[in-house]
Structure 1
Amino acid sequence: MSNSRADRVVVIGSGLAGLVTALSLAPHPVTILTRAGLGGETSSAWAQGGIAAAVGGDDSVSLHAQDTLAAGDGLCDPVAVEMITGAAPDAIALLERFGVRFDRKADGALALGLEAAHSRNRIVHAGGDGSGAEIVRTLSAAVMATPSISVVEGFEVRRLLTEDGAIAGLLCASASGPVRIAASRVVLATGGLGGLFEASTNPPDNYGQGVMLAARAGAVLADMEFVQFHPTALDTAVYPQPLISEAVRGEGAILVNERGERFMASIPGAELAPRDVVARAISAERAKGAKGGSVYLDARQALGDRFASRFPVIDAICRAAGIDPARQPIPVRPAAHYHMGGVATDLRGRTSIQGLWAAGEVACTGLHGANRLASNSLLEAAVMGMRVARDVADSANRLVKLVDAPPLPQIADIKPIRSIASAYLGVLRDAEGLQAAIAALLAHVDADGPQSDPALVALLVAVFAHQRRRSVGAHARTDSVAMSESAPRQYLTSREAVSVARDIVEPASYSPIQKFPYSKSA
């Protein structure tokens, strides 16, 4: 089956970045393609904390930028940091124009929360700890009320189609079979890759599809090694693990081991240190003893009976697991939460492929560096959604025709990849483990079966991590090499990364690369 939407902008994904992009493009015609229902299966809807914005009387954009740079551990792009943090007040105003009602104090001022590594209370939230769900719900309603936006649900994009190095369309799976769509302007807003890990706070099927699509099409990727593990996911057998927001620690909750000892007290920032620091400390504490230890978030003294009113969503999550957070410590563990790397873009959201933009977690603007500052993710999604829309609206619509496409790839099977990623690409890494991961993942990529697409994304993480020998931010190597200067940001295409992987495994045993990218001109 074929379809032509060449005169419309196609947005892939319906999280915050995709919704803001589509709404900001109005009245330009836009089609949103989403695998689930509008706003469904998005990490945005699961976000608890809110949006970081310097809107308080004691705050400033420069302070927000300084905190972002500090958390990014030397690898942020200062221009991106200045631009995106500076646009935060405008992003909040835009969301309010779309109908989002942020929480306010009795005097009408925005209620501002505190999260780790922020020097000021600057987390703008909606619905208490249900910010993401409230924002996505409101924006989804605005999309449905916008005549210029059409929503196509139940479509999963399996490949981007290119011709002469530019976007020419998409190959999708639908309930009625394969569908080719002609398109000259496509926006990736597909979210992250937490589903690659056995412990994750992300929707389970999100394995980095946008990165895969861009990689298969030949786009440049950046900083793929930086996977942020949220320190405090609920330690439960449920998959994915429910998130216990950093805002709980912002209200004074402390981390204790199974002996009741507060093990973060002597670390600068304590429980509100950057996420990578807290995640490593918890991992180290859990590793003590022959069978490992447990770690708990204790909010009894800081919040007590106020817990349910301040954090109603988290209170319900805990009670569903048989825990009363007002009277019991909450068992927690690190879990894959956010990907700082992704498809390399400029500050207009442009990728290295003509006609392809990216916004949100799938993109790498340089804002986050090696470690994302809490609640800068929804900020980036909103700001870059606005900027992408502006750039797309100013771009010329190229005439394209339906191009040839490969056979529709099988639905992805992530499960075999999770054990590899979890074993070797987690909070702590080393050369031996990374080499083992690369060998195992390369075999899955070469097999070209249902595991191939998620294996490619995990392989990219492993290769980038192998190449960065020094610990920095969320990339922690137990065999870190001392270096006089911080290594720069990394950029590779998938073709280059696979070539590196083959050299690492065994140069003589692999034939030349043949599968990248999917393009008539490749």
Structure 2
Amino acid sequence: MTHKYDFLIIGSGIAGMSYALKVAKHGKVAIIAKTTLEDANTYYAQGGIASVTNPWDNFEKHITDTLDAGAGLCDVSVVERVVQEAPAQINELISWGVNFDKDEKGNFDLHREGGHSEFRILHYKDSTGAEIQTSLIETIRNHPNIDVYDNHFTIEILTQHHLGQVVTRHTPGIECYGAYILDLQTREVLTFLSRITMMATGGIGCIYQTTTNPLVATGDGIAMVARAKGEIKGMEFVQFHPTALYHPGVRPSFLITEAMRGYGGVLKTKDGKEFMQKYDERLSLAPRDIVARAIDTEMKNRGDDHVFLDVTHKDAEETKKHFPTIYEKCLTYGIDITKEMIPVAPAAHYLCGGIFVSIDGETSINRLYANGECACTGLHGANRLASNSLIEAVVFADSAAKHSVPLFKKFSFQEDIPDWNAEGTTSTEEMVLITQSYKEVGQIMSSYVG
């Protein structure tokens, strides 16, 4: 079966859905979700979204903080664009129904996180990602120009290779015509033809043994583009979040937001001693890469499997108010964070590299764009500044929409693409073999690639 759409969006997080809402005014849109729209990394983002919104802050400070965190490898022009366009995109999120916490005066209740010199993190309690995801889903589901395909797994993107041509990394003018997509319920492989395709499949966290990412974060989009001979960049830059809740056997690891350290949480060893003064003058508010390495060093030197994050010195009711989700989650493991320190350890969290894109979100393959964690925009360099990912997604969704909308009608559907050829495919009789290989990859990645 063949479907035709002006815009084909592979992925269901903020990167894909915000792009969908921007282009749906101009053409027919399909969103492909591996499981459901709710099951995306966006949903699990606790801390918030970074933007200059208060009079004490300014663009230059946010730019400097981002460049410092990125270890000199950020694209300065991209950093400037994202920071400067962030406030307008915050307003658009609000217009789509997203709520952010405000103080008694009606101003945004801003948090400060590691690596930030000012309070600039907009949030909704400690479940900002869930608020954004839920609001966008409601708007998406009610949009007449957007069709959602839940439980559909994208196998590969379509290029000249599927027309029988030889395509290499040196082939000029590679084009994307859509994708082969598996309906996980009927087991039928469908052909989706499109004028424009947006890859927004998220990161690679689940190829690691320990990760904060949901189980869908397996790097599918990056692999598809690599197989199609697209340019991939910066895959060595995998960020480990320093404070995932330590509870062996639980996957994914529950994230203890950066905002908790901004709130006043202090990192300590098992004997209750602070240690960040040995590594950075910003102490527990240093950027993620510094804190993660410091924790890892302490764990290795002491032979411990975790450290602690302590907020017991803070007002108990304020802690519950600011971090209700974390408070309730920790209680399920028998930890009252107002009275006991939280056991934490680093976990694979965010890919700073990915599918290389221009400042307009274009990949090296014509008619193919990429956004979100699967894309390497140049914003993050070697290390992402806390809460810069969500704002990157909406700014680049806007850039990609402005670039692709004037172009899409110039492209026609490639009617010569053949139906999926199932010849040579097999069904595995013993899934345990795949499970075992999957676990082995996770162990190798966690031990030697991070």
The TM-score with structure 1 as length reference comes to 0.78
Q: Is residue 157 from structure 1 mapped to residue 154 from structure 2 by the alignment? A: yes
Cα deviation, residue 416, structure 1: 3.0
Cα deviation, residue 41, structure 1: 2.1
The CA distance in 2 between the partners of 1:410 and 1:197, in whole Å, is: 25
More displaced 10-residue stretch of structure 1: 74-83 or 304-313: 304-313
Amino acid of the residue matched to residue 136 of structure 1?
Q
Counterpart for residue 448 of structure 2: 424
Counterpart for residue 267 of structure 2: 255
Deviation digits for residues 400-434 of structure 1 (CA, Å, limit 9, x no counterpart): 115245546979863331111111012xxxxxxxx
The CA distance in 2 between the partners of 1:192 and 1:166, in whole Å, is: 23
The CA distance in 1 between the partners of 2:235 and 2:447, in whole Å, is: 17
Change (3 A) 1:59 1:409: farther
Deviation digits for residues 199-225 of structure 1 (CA, Å, limit 9, x no counterpart): 100012311111111111111011110
> Could you tell me whether the CA contact under 8 Å between 1:157 and 1:171 is conserved in 2?
yes
> Could you tell me whether the CA contact under 8 Å between 1:4 and 1:402 is conserved in 2?
no
Amino acid of the residue matched to residue 233 of structure 1?
A
The CA distance in 2 between the partners of 1:11 and 1:284, in whole Å, is: 41
Structure 2 SS opposite 1:112: coil
Q: Is residue 173 from structure 1 mapped to residue 182 from structure 2 by the alignment? A: yes
Q: Is residue 398 from structure 1 mapped to residue 395 from structure 2 by the alignment? A: no
Amino acid of the residue matched to residue 191 of structure 2?
R
The CA distance in 1 between the partners of 2:118 and 2:93, in whole Å, is: 22
Structure 1 SS opposite 2:191: strand
Cα deviation, residue 388, structure 1: 1.4
The CA distance in 1 between the partners of 2:59 and 2:341, in whole Å, is: 36
Deviation digits for residues 345-379 of structure 1 (CA, Å, limit 9, x no counterpart): 00111000011100111101100000000000001
The TM-score with structure 2 as length reference comes to 0.91
Structure 2 SS opposite 1:224: coil
The CA distance in 2 between the partners of 1:201 and 1:4, in whole Å, is: 35
Cα deviation, residue 303, structure 1: 4.1
Structure 1 SS opposite 2:159: strand
Counterpart for residue 84 of structure 2: 86
Change (3 A) 1:409 1:275: farther
The CA distance in 2 between the partners of 1:305 and 1:256, in whole Å, is: 22
Which structure 2 segments of 5+ residues have no match? 166-173, 429-433
Change (3 A) 1:402 1:304: farther
> Could you tell me whether the CA contact under 8 Å between 2:113 and 2:121 is conserved in 1?
yes
Which runs of structure 2 are paired with 1:9-28 in the superposition (5 Å)?
9-27=7-25, 28=27
Counterpart for residue 184 of structure 1: 195
More displaced 10-residue stretch of structure 1: 171-180 or 226-235: 171-180
Root mean square deviation, CA, Å: 1.6
Counterpart for residue 445 of structure 1: none
Cα deviation, residue 184, structure 1: 3.2
The CA distance in 1 between the partners of 2:62 and 2:257, in whole Å, is: 20
Structure 1 SS opposite 2:277: coil
> Could you tell me whether the CA contact under 8 Å between 1:306 and 1:326 is conserved in 2?
no
Match for residue 230 of structure 2 among 181, 198, 219: 219
Match for residue 322 of structure 1 among 314, 334, 356: 334
Cα deviation, residue 334, structure 1: 0.1
Counterpart for residue 199 of structure 1: 210
Q: Is residue 242 from structure 1 mapped to residue 254 from structure 2 by the alignment? A: yes
> Could you tell me whether the CA contact under 8 Å between 2:267 and 2:276 is conserved in 1?
yes
> Could you tell me whether the CA contact under 8 Å between 2:193 and 2:413 is conserved in 1?
no
The CA distance in 1 between the partners of 2:440 and 2:220, in whole Å, is: 16
The CA distance in 2 between the partners of 1:369 and 1:418, in whole Å, is: 25
Cα deviation, residue 274, structure 1: 1.0
Counterpart for residue 384 of structure 2: 372
The CA distance in 2 between the partners of 1:41 and 1:284, in whole Å, is: 34
Counterpart for residue 3 of structure 1: 2
> Could you tell me whether the CA contact under 8 Å between 1:258 and 1:293 is conserved in 2?
no
The CA distance in 1 between the partners of 2:42 and 2:7, in whole Å, is: 22
More displaced 10-residue stretch of structure 1: 169-178 or 214-223: 169-178
The CA distance in 1 between the partners of 2:55 and 2:178, in whole Å, is: 48
Structure 2 SS opposite 1:286: helix
Match for residue 362 of structure 2 among 332, 347, 350: 350
The CA distance in 1 between the partners of 2:351 and 2:21, in whole Å, is: 25
Q: Is residue 33 from structure 1 mapped to residue 32 from structure 2 by the alignment? A: yes
The CA distance in 2 between the partners of 1:283 and 1:263, in whole Å, is: 12
Change (3 A) 1:156 1:410: farther
Amino acid of the residue matched to residue 201 of structure 2?
T
> Could you tell me whether the CA contact under 8 Å between 1:192 and 1:362 is conserved in 2?
yes
Match for residue 361 of structure 1 among 373, 384, 399: 373
Amino acid of the residue matched to residue 203 of structure 1?
P
The CA distance in 1 between the partners of 2:412 and 2:17, in whole Å, is: 24
Change (3 A) 1:347 1:417: same
Counterpart for residue 126 of structure 2: 129
> Could you tell me whether the CA contact under 8 Å between 1:169 and 1:402 is conserved in 2?
no
The CA distance in 1 between the partners of 2:224 and 2:327, in whole Å, is: 38
The CA distance in 2 between the partners of 1:36 and 1:365, in whole Å, is: 26
> Could you tell me whether the CA contact under 8 Å between 2:8 and 2:178 is conserved in 1?
no
Which runs of structure 2 are paired with 1:341-490 in the superposition (5 Å)?
341-395=353-407, 396-404=410-418, 405=420, 407=422, 414-426=438-450
Deviation digits for residues 296-351 of structure 1 (CA, Å, limit 9, x no counterpart): 00000134342111100111111111100000000000000000000000011100
Cα deviation, residue 397, structure 1: 2.7
Structure 2 SS opposite 1:361: helix
> Could you tell me whether the CA contact under 8 Å between 1:285 and 1:293 is conserved in 2?
no
> Could you tell me whether the CA contact under 8 Å between 1:235 and 1:241 is conserved in 2?
yes
Structure 2 SS opposite 1:281: helix
Change (3 A) 1:310 1:409: farther
> Percentage identity across aligned positions?
38
Cα deviation, residue 171, structure 1: 1.2
